[in-house]
Amino acid sequence: MQTSLPPCVLFEDEHLLVVNKPAGWNTHAPSPYAGEGIYDWLKHREPRWASLAIIHRLDKETSGVMVFGKTALANRSLTEQFTSRAVRKKYLLLTDHKLKSREFTVRSKLVRVGERYATGATGELAETRFKLLDSALRTPHSALVEASPLTGRTHQIRVHAAENGFPILGDTLYGGAPWARVCLHAAELNFKHPATGEAATFNAPVDFAADARSALRAAIVEPEATDAFRSLHGASDGWPGWYVERLGDYLLSQSEGELTEEQRRRLEKIPGAKGAYHKLLNRQVRKTNAAQASPKLVAGVAAPERFTICENGVKYELSFNEGYSVGLFLDQRDNRRRLLTGHIAADFKLQTSDSRPELLNCFAYTCGFSVCAALAGARTTSLDLSKKYLEWGKRNFALNELDPAQHDFIYGDTFDWLKRLAKKQRAFDVVVLDPPTFSQSKEGGAFRAEKDYGRLVSAALPVLKPGGVLFASTNAADWPPEDFLAQVERAIRAARRKIAQQHYAPQPPDFPVSRAEPAYLKTVWLRVA
């Protein structure tokens, strides 16, 4: 399937991928189960990016131009150019302090001191040229400065600015005044093209006053294909306990309490929404009826009883009137895309044969995974304990011009039906396991993810073809990913089967992970021999 480029991509050819990294996104994942960095997200997104290589890095809170290599020639050439200081880099920074002169150069040796770097008697030499600019980007209380690092040391510009009396706005680690973001941006990158030897220059504008949270979403969401995403994610975006999603023309706000006046004002600043709803996050949701659990209109005009959003070019029906859930879990967007494109990760294709794949979607809910697989040519079986949701799923099929009659929809308990399908010797190329954290049925009894996930995997393996792909997911927030994976792997070993390929996929970048807002979603794709 041909897909469009994410908005963060500035340029691509056979050898190079140049991007404009937004502030608040790591260059690469800081740990195995943390949120993906821009490098990881891109590397696993397209087959042609599977060999993507990091040539240089930007700090998480620094935005701007980055180049990745796609070929051995590009990697070798760019590494040599960076090492020999042939690459010219220009950064822009804002400070609320005065500079000692309009132009000057700072040279010092940098050493690490805890989380910071500082000038020391030993360490690596760092050299930065600074130049005060006259620009409309300045404000009455700030100065815009151009910084040209002649070396590439970690935190170099930040240290040199702070130690020379003009810390960067927002860079509180180095004494900068509080700001919505660190006001440091890689504005320009100049180097010789690895293949042609011609000069190549790439630029990216910046607006330090713009909302950095919105800029992050704008970098990853293709507006012509997707109008549903998380626009504000709790403490990672500076609002602990509060979450806001864009759902087409409407906003869905979620927290454990009623909206505060400050939150209402923040909602009003989100452009383009016809109406806004608020949902109380309630741990006792099963004890409430649909009307009590449904989101309530708090601003603008009411949504129709059913309305449509678009994600990766796929249409889904949503509703604010059906209870706690509105019809789609946005944190699975990238995983639905994997089924849509048939590309799981670098060197991990969904299908290894040309035959029409068969997919079993357990706990199917409104059949989002099934719709994507069907659009990619698979024959799907959707299994759920709710007839209402299966009918909703059929409408999602029809929305995308897919004939529901060409696919199976099974009402019933997942454990019961996995036994039945195994007895009938049904076998699937892909089995999707995305259960609720807790569920209960007459046939299967209570299911608790942390306690019973291994039992679920064991039940699913008999219907998974040798060499088939198992997708396992949970949003049990307090369950460590290592323990989740261990339980899945134990069940596979106990069935005397082996994992041939594995890709762990955390929540997407619009659900940013931070110390204050740890990752909660855990998903893994496994090819099981």
Nearest CA to 333 among 41, 43, 51, 61? 41
How wide is the angle at C-alpha 299 spanned by C-alphas 302 and 320, nearest 5°?
40
**Rounded to whole angstroms, what are the CA distances from 451 to 75, 232, 304, 334?**
46, 31, 40, 27
How wide is the angle at C-alpha 406 spanned by C-alphas 405 and 408, nearest 5°?
80
Question: Are the CB atoms for 197 and 74 separated by under 8 Å?
Answer: no
CB-count burial class (<10 Å; 0-12, 13-18, 19+) for 146: middle
Q: CA-to-CA distance for 365 and 388, rounded, in angstroms?
A: 9
> Tokens representing 133?
């600019």
Q: What is the 3-state secondary structure (H, E, C) of 2-58?
A: CCCCCCCEEEECCCEEEEEECCCCCCCCCCCCCCCCHHHHHHCCCHHHCCCEECCCC
Is residue 255 helix, strand or coil?
strand
Question: Are the CB atoms for 373 and 380 separated by under 8 Å?
Answer: yes
365 — phi, psi (to 5°)? 55, -120
The one catalytic residue in 13, 40, 59, 334 is: 59
Angle, nearest 10°, between helix axes 449-460 and 481-494? 30
> Tokens representing 82?
């960076």
CB-count burial class (<10 Å; 0-12, 13-18, 19+) for 339: buried
HSE (CB half, 13 Å, CA atoms) of 186?
29
- Is 59 assigned a catalytic role? yes
Kindly tell me the sign of the dihedral angle through the C-alpha atoms of 99, 102, 108, 113: positive
Q: What is the DSSP letter of 157?
A: H
DSSP per position, 190-223: EEE-TTT--EEEEE----TTS-HHHHHHHHH--T
**Active-site positions?**
59
